[in-house]
Amino acid sequence: MLSISSVPLSNQLLAALPMIDRLHMLEASISVDLEFSEVLAERGEKIRYVYFPVGSFISLVEASDNETRIEVGMVGDEGMLGSSLILGIDVSPFHALVQGAGPALRMKAATFRKELARSAGLERSLKRYLYVVMGQLAQTAACTRFHLLEARLARWLLMTEDRAHGERFHVTHVFLAFMLGVRRVGITKAATSLQKQGLISYSRGNVTIVNRAGLEKVSCSCYQLDKKAYTAIMK
């Protein structure tokens, strides 16, 4: 099975709050287990819950035409799903689906908005997070346009490892093709190449990052840029 992380499970957004606010948030939410491929939000639909991943992670997916979808963002324990509620609109701008199963804290959208109004620290922190998400969206647009599939795949694997908190996770070529907006065959080719270079190994959906430093080298700069932006803004 999946490796159990030894890192204590928590959400970084919540962990950074002052004690009192953090307790409030924990009290107002319940712990749920997210299952792989579960749909947590649909574009244009009302947001019922927000989620703070705690080991699980979520993909933000944009659809243009029918059947052409692409991942535009990823949410792990460094973020939350539903941050657009800060803007006062309770309609989801994206599809959101669970990409890595695991626990998360769930809160009713209405409760979340009340907490936002109550705690200035929470609002400040989540505004900053939303800013980071915006940057990720733009980054992804450029990345998707200019970078070769192998580099994009490497970036995706690194981002996932960060959120899975372990060098092993489960994802098939079909799923990767969906996320990166390419054919399955394209993924097979790129993944084979990465494996031949000794950077990853995989079999029937079980991916292991073998050489992280090497993977960072073949990945596009977008990975580092994203990371830098996050730490710069969130402190």
Partner DNA sequence: CTGGTTCTGTACGCTGACGAACATTGAATT
Partner DNA sequence: AATTCAATGTTCGTCAGCGTACAGAACCAG
Residues that bind DNA (CB under 7 A): 148-150, 172-174, 181-186, 188-192, 195, 202-205
Cα dihedral 202, 139, 41, 113, rounded to 10, equals 130
Q: For residues 85 and 17, is the Cβ–Cβ distance under 8 A?
A: no
204-223 positions binding its own copies, by CB under 8 A? 220-222
Site for its own copies contains 135 (CB under 8 A): yes
208 within 8 A of 201, measured Cβ to Cβ: yes
Could you give the string, one character per residue 140-179, with x where binding to its own copies holds by CB under 8 A and - elsewhere?
xxxxxxxx--------------------------------
Number of chain residues interacting with its own copies (CB under 8 A):
41
195 binds, among DNA, its own copies, none (CB under 5 to 8 A by kind): DNA
From the CB of 32, what's the least distance to DNA, in Å?
24
* In the block, residue with structure tokens 């969206």: 137
Q: Yes or no: say if 205 and 172 are a contact pair by the CB < 8 Å rule.
A: yes
Told to check if 233 binds its own copies by CB under 8 A, we report: yes
> Closest Cα partner for 31 from 9, 46, 48, 13?
9
What's the count of helices (H) and strands (E) in the chain, helices before strands?
9, 10
**And the tokens for 29?**
């939410």
Q: Confirm or reject binding of residue 128 to its own copies (CB under 8 A).
A: yes
Least Å distance, CB 71 to DNA, is 14
- By a kind-dependent CB cut-off of 5 to 8 A, residue 204 interacts, out of its own copies, DNA, none, with DNA
Q: Using alpha carbons only, give the angle 69, 71, 73 rounded to the nearest 5 degrees.
A: 150
Q: What angle do CA 59, 65, 66 make, to 5 degrees?
A: 75
User: Judged by CB under 8 A, does residue 89 bind its own copies?
Assistant: yes
- Binding residues for its own copies, rule: CB under 8 A, are 60, 62-65, 68-70, 72, 84, 86-89, 93-94, 124, 127-128, 130-131, 133-135, 137-147, 181, 220-222, 225, 233
